[in-house]
Amino acid sequence: MISRIDLGQLYLTPRSPFARRVRTTLMRYEIPFGETEATPFEPSADFLKQNPLGLVPAVTLKNGQVWIDSAAILENLWDLGIPIWPRDVQERIAVRQASVLAEGLMSLGVSYYLENNMRKVADPSWVEDYDATALRTLSRIQELSPSKFPWWVSGDLSQAGWDLGVALEYTTLRMPHLKWAEKFPDLKAILDRCLTSKAFLHTRPPELKMG
Ligand SMILES: N[C@@H](CCC(=O)N[C@@H](CS)C(=O)NCC(=O)O)C(=O)O
């Protein structure tokens, strides 16, 4: 049973992969919401009232709740009847775990960006570690056959597949030197499917929208 989900505003930044993961999911399931751009590095009092952690995404509900953290937001949608995950328990576990790999790639891109742009001097050993971890994760994803379950279910992308599309574009944006598309060409099929989605195109980071 799908309970009524009355969302208010989704706080986001145009480049946040975590916010994009939630935005594309809400759009795919046609759940209406408003968008408020947040500036996490100079957070407004209103934004911090919604999420004291100062992170996007945060989504307000008309019932007064505020949901934070992209993974928790997806779980809340699932709990309220949105078919984010497969019904079968074993399949659900596999898709959710694949989605964690995609989410991990997003986190690596954010950490890499912060290390290189927010510190006076980036620590090369951290930067190397982010690169190595991202390559290892991409390689594991490639081993998991990107043309099959758990990235696809019933002929279309699973939530993990959509999340991976978001993560791959964020990797292009923040870690272009990794050249993931050259090293892991099998992953491109997932991004190609994402790029046929209006929600995915609408939420592209500005630099990628410009091509
Ligand atoms: N685990 C969180 C991570 C959220 C996150 O790190 N958001 C970043 C943007 S991509 C952020 O708001 N950063 C602002 C900051 O670090 O001040 C989620 O999945 O929502």
Burial class (CB in 10 A: 0-12, 13-18, 19+), 170: buried
pLDDT tens, 129-179? 999 999 999 999 999 888 899 999 999 999 999 999 999 999 999 999 999
Confidence of residue 52 (pLDDT cuts 50, 70, 90): very high
| Closest atom, ligand 1, to C-alpha of 110 | 10
Angle (CA) 123-124-130 rounded to 5° is 100
Give, using CA atoms, the residue closest to atom 5 of ligand 1: 55
Pocket of ligand 1 contains residue 57 by CB under 6 Å: yes
Q: Per-residue pLDDT for 35 more than 60?
A: yes
For the chain, which domains are there? Answer: 7-79 (3.40.30.10), 89-197 (1.20.1050.10)
71 lines ligand 1 (CB under 6 A): yes
Backbone φ and ψ for 34, nearest 5 degrees, come out as -100, 165
pLDDT tens by residue, 6-18: 999 999 999 999 9
* Listed range (34-38, 48-52, 75-79, 144-148) with the worst mean pLDDT: 144-148
pLDDT of residue 146: 85
Report the atom number in ligand 1 closest to the C-alpha of 16.
Answer: 10
Q: pLDDT band at 192, cuts 50/70/90?
A: very high
How far is it, in rounded angstroms, from Cα 106 to Cα 133?
Answer: 12
What pLDDT score was predicted for residue 2? 62
Give the tokens for residue 168: 């791959």
Q: How far is the CA of 116 from the centre of ligand 1 (A)?
A: 16
- pLDDT 10s digits, 56-97: 999 999 999 999 999 999 999 999 999 999 999 999 999 999
Q: How far is CA 178 from the centre of its chain?
A: 19
Q: Could you give the CA distance from residue 11 to residue 194 in angstroms, rounded to a whole number? A: 23
Cβ of 56 below 6 Å from ligand 1: yes
| pLDDT band per the 50, 70, 90 thresholds, residue 30 | very high
- Residue closest by Cα to atom 13 of ligand 1: 55
Percent of the chain residues past pLDDT 90, beyond the cut: 88
pLDDT over threshold 60, residue 1: no
Residue identifier of the C-alpha nearest atom 2 of ligand 1? 69
Averaged over 45-65, what is the pLDDT? 95
- State if residue 50 touches ligand 1 by the CB under 6 angstroms criterion: no
**Residue 59 phi, psi dihedral angles, 5° rounding:** -130, 130
Residue with the two structure tokens 């499917």:
193
Q: What's the CA gap between 192 and 209, in Å, rounded?
A: 15
Query: Does ligand 1 have an atom closer than 6 angstroms to the CB of 141?
Result: no
**pLDDT over 80 (residue 21):** yes
Q: Please indicate whether residue 130, judged by its CB atom, sits closer than 6 Å to ligand 1.
A: no
Q: Is the CB of 166 under 6 A from ligand 1?
A: no
